[in-house]
Amino acid sequence: MTFTKDHQGRHVVHITYNIDSPKAKTIAWTLPFVDQEYVLLPAWQQNLRDTEEQYDEENELDGHAMTRTYGIDASPLGDLIAVNSSNHPTDGVEYVIASDQISSLAVTSAREVSEHEILPTFGGPSHPSGMD
């Protein structure tokens, strides 16, 4: 868990889960906690989704991939967020060789959010045009 400020100066708490952070619906909240019907998709979460999709395609896993996150932290000024993660198959036993393990460190803007998706606090992802 880490804290940043959004473009309006409000505090935001970011949370990762060991497994399934790219698809989690409760990933970032503006403080103080009030009824928030929609939460914007943080740039770091979109980055995790993109790398998971790339891993899935490169290894021909047909959608059977997952991302494990090991840590998240904000820069001292709160303008950048770093997330450490790795990708894994989900449809069978994973044969692991320590020297072949790859972990990635993604550094993204804390104030940047995806303009294409908004995560409702209940239900799945939806496109902003469906919020009329």
For residue 130, the tally of other CB atoms under 10 A from its CB is 8
Closest CA to 9 of 122, 124, 110, 130: 110
Is the pLDDT at 33 greater than 80? The verdict is no
Of 15-29, 39-53, 79-93, 114-128, minimum mean pLDDT range? 114-128
Q: Give the model's pLDDT for residue 122.
A: 41
For residue 102, the tally of other CB atoms under 10 A from its CB is 7
Q: Please state, in angstroms and rounded to a whole number, the distance separating the CA atoms of residues 130 and 100.
A: 43
What residues does each domain of the chain span?
A: 2-131
Specify burial of residue 91 (Cβ count, 10 A radius: 0-12, 13-18, 19+): exposed
Greatest mean pLDDT range, 38-42, 90-94, 110-114, 120-124:
90-94
Q: Give the model's pLDDT for residue 82.
A: 92
Is the pLDDT at 73 greater than 50? The verdict is yes
Taking phi first (over 0 means left), then psi (-120 to 50 degrees means alpha), and beta for anything else, what does residue 78 get? left
